[in-house]
């Protein structure tokens, strides 16, 4: 679902950028996508449903508290990335922003994801807990 949402937002803002000949729209796209991800994750937490669990639980089974904390951390991270994108595109040159978008946002995301490994390991389900959950 997230790739579909991202594709729609890219299509809309890319189209507006080309049609209106205004690069502002394409610069706003990361803010909107990151902001939507943040809002969706915060919304899930508001309703006591850590939404990363259905996306990732098959690959990395964790205790409920781990999913809550991971979802909260990613929600905060996405909000921070949206804010950072706004600051960069509004205060820097287009060339700087393009490099930031391509290398900075991706780099920050990779580093952030790797730094979540200790949390994921701490709340990982043991083999016994996995067997009990399956029964």
pLDDT confidence of 111, banded at 50, 70, 90? very high
Summarised one tens digit per residue, pLDDT across range 65-92 is 999 999 999 999 999 999 999 999 999 9
Cβ–Cβ under 8 Å, residues 22 and 15 = no
**Mean pLDDT for the chain?**
88
Boundaries of domain holding 11: 2-134
Summarised one tens digit per residue, pLDDT across range 50-63 is 999 998 888 889 99
The three-point CA angle 90-80-7 to 5° equals 80
Number of domains in the chain: 1
pTM (two decimals): 0.82
The reported pLDDT for the residue numbered 24 is: 74
């Amino acid at each position: 679902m997230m790739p579909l949402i991202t594709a729609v937002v890219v299509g809309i803002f890319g189209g507006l950028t080309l049609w209106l000949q205004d690069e502002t729209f394409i610069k706003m796209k990361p803010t909107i996508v990151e902001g939507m991800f943040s809002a969706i994750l915060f919304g899930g937490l508001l309703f006591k449903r850590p939404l990363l669990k259905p996306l990732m639980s098959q690959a990395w089974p964790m205790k409920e508290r781990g999913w809550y904390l991971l979802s909260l951390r990613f929600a905060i991270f996405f909000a921070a990335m949206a804010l950072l994108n706004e600051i960069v595109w509004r205060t820097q040159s287009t060339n700087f922003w393009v490099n930031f978008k391509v290398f900075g946002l991706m780099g920050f995301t990779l580093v952030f994801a790797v730094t979540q490994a200790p949390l994921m390991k701490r709340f990982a389900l043991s083999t016994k807990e996995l067997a009990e959950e399956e029964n």
